[in-house]
Structure 1
Amino acid sequence: MLQDILAALPLGLFLAFLIGPVFFVLLETAAMRGFRAALSFDLGVIVADVVFLCIAYFGTNQLLMRIKDDPALFLFGGTVLTTYGIISFLKVRKTTLNSAKFQIQKLKGKDYIGIAGKGFLLNFINIGVLGFWLSLILIFGPTLDMQPKRLITFFSTVLITYLVIDIFKILLAKKLNKKLTPTRVAISKKIISITIIVFGVVLIFRGIFPEQSEKFDPDVEEIMPDT
């Protein structure tokens, strides 16, 4: 068990520093809404990861390999991300920020549930995440003898490590609140919106031109640590 935990730690660190739309929204949530809101968002993201892991483990490999590369799903996910980014960008342009709007907001219990749901959906609509977790199971599964207990230990360690690192990122981002001004808030929101749009366009490109996009896909086996 200890060997499986030690093997999972580098992978958890790797995941924690992947740059994507979730990464930027997490930092924004921490700075704008505080620690508990950002943690709720992150937990929603992790729940989506757990769902993908379960799908990858219990589904048949042949079916999942077809699903994860289905151009229609990339088009759908890319369209949703792009639309979300455009709407967020337009909202920033139409909103006049004042000193009251960029202070850490006081939230109620239902607000945290909504934020967690946002994290879940933002991660879940990215079908590439399913392909990523499936690849990890195909790579690390045989080294773990596909034993359920060892798989649970390994991937639980990956997600816990990911969460712990994210907590430190949240704490650091929260300190940025003291330096926020209306202009900086608007700029950061625009940057995050544009980033989400870019990732959405990339998914759409993969859906429209699947053969060309494969040339730019990194080999997962090359970036994964040896076990």
Structure 2
Amino acid sequence: MIAPLMKGLILGLILSISVGPVIFAIIKQSINNGHKAGYVFVAGVSASDITLVMVCNFFTGLFNTALSYKNTIAIAGSIFLIAVGVYTLFFKKVQVDEENKLLTKTFRKRDYAGIFLSGYFMNMLNPGVFLFWFAWTTLIMADSQTATHPGEYRFIVFTTCLLFVLLADIAKVVLAGKLRSRLNAKNLRFINKLSGLILIGFGVALCWGVLALFK
């Protein structure tokens, strides 16, 4: 079935090139903590996308209930982004060896669990991601009704989309890893400060958008 495959690819392309806090967080995580931490963060982001797709398709009532609390979710998301941004900007330390070369931190299992959850919730608490999946699921479900096998049609679309996004995020980790090998401590401190400011900016913009709705 070429049609659902192509729609899945287009949908995945749209999502993977969308500029948001997650893309900067993937790059920041990979540069600061190495490719393994980047992959774990990406796994958390992908898991949240899978969760939202399943909820949209099989638990529409639950998703509609969640949407009714989108302002609360947005505020929680903005607080999360600002907190991560402040930590990155002011408290994130760059580890170097005696030759001033970057060190890759050794993580324990619970550290990786924390990285996974940060990726999961950073993506999950973004109202834009909520609305993206809700809008496209509604369109794909309506479109699938004209197909011979609607369930198979939707499965191909969303599986293709999710795999494309996952591969695109993995590519970002790989590219960030290549960049990391060329950085020194001074460069990394600058990137951390820039990443922190960007995350704080996204958090403030998200909160500002919610407050504007209450006027």
Q: Note the C-alpha offset of 1:41.
A: 0.9
Aligned pair in 2 of structure 1 residues 200, 157: CA closer, same or farther (>3 Å)?
Answer: same
CA distance in 2: counterparts of 1:66 and 1:114, whole angstroms = 24
| Cα offsets for 1:179-205 (capped at 9, x unmatched) | 211111111111111111111112111
The whole-number CA distance in structure 2 between the counterparts of 1:125 and 1:71 is: 10
Q: In the alignment, which residue of structure 2 is the partner of 1:215?
A: none
Return the alpha-carbon distance in structure 1 between the equivalents of residues 60 and 39 of structure 2: 33
Calculate the aligned-residue CA RMSD, in Å: 2.5
Question: Whole-Å Cα distance in 2 between the matches of residues 41 and 56 of structure 1?
Answer: 23
Letter in 1 for 2:33: R
The answer to whether the 8 Å contact 1:21/1:192 transfers is: no
Aligned to 2:102: 102
Residue 209 of structure 1 pairs with residue 212 of structure 2: yes
Structure 1 position 138, deviation (Å): 1.4
Change (3 A) 1:62 1:52: closer
Counterpart in 2 of 1:181? 184
Aligned to 1:75: 75
Deviation at 1:52, TM superposition (A): 1.4
CA distance in 2, matches of 1:30, 1:66: 31
What CA deviation, in whole Å up to 9, does each residue of 1:14-54 have, x standing for no partner? Answer: 22122111111111222233322211111110111111122
Q: What residue identity is the alignment partner of 1:187?
A: F
Aligned: 1:13 with 2:13: yes
Q: Does residue 1:24 correspond to 2:24, yes or no? A: yes
Whole-Å separation in 2 of the counterparts to 1:211 and 1:169: 37
Residues 72 and 114 of structure 1, relative CA distance in 2, 3 Å threshold? closer
**Against the structure 1 CA distance between its residues 179 and 68, is the aligned structure 2 distance closer, same or farther, given a 3 Å change threshold?**
farther
Match for 2:35: what amino acid?
Answer: F
After superposition, the C-alpha distances for 1:69-125 in whole angstroms (9 at most, x for unaligned) are 743332222122222222332214xx4x45238323333444333321221121112
Q: Size of the alignment, in residue pairs?
A: 209
State the TM-score, normalizing by the size of structure 2.
0.85
* Residues 73 and 31 of structure 1: CA distance in aligned 2, closer, same or farther (over 3 Å): closer
Alignment counterpart, residue 156 of structure 1, candidates 155, 159, 162: 159
Gaps of 5+ in 1: 213-227
Contact 2:22/2:122 (8 A) holds in 1: yes
Note if contact 1:8-1:154 (Cα within 8 Å) is conserved in structure 2: yes
Letter matched to residue 157 of structure 1 = T
CA contact (8 A) 1:74 1:207 kept: yes
Matched, 1:168 2:171: yes
Q: 1:153 to 1:68 in 2, by over 3 A?
A: farther
- In the aligned structure 2, how far is the partner of 1:35 from the partner of 1:83? 23
In 2, are the aligned partners of 1:42 and 1:119 still within 8 Å (CA)?
A: yes
Contact residue 86 and residue 197 of structure 1 kept, 8 A: yes
Q: Which residue of 2 aligns with 1:57?
A: 57
1:73-152 correspondence runs (5 A) = 73-92=73-92, 95=93, 97-100=94-97, 102-145=102-145, 147-152=150-155
User: CA, structure 1 residues 98+75, in 2 after alignment: closer, same or farther (shift >3 Å)?
Assistant: closer
Task: Measure how far apart 1:149 and its partner are.
Answer: 2.5
Shift of 1:65: 7.7
Identity of aligned residues (%): 24
Q: How many Å apart are 1:208 and its aligned residue? A: 0.9
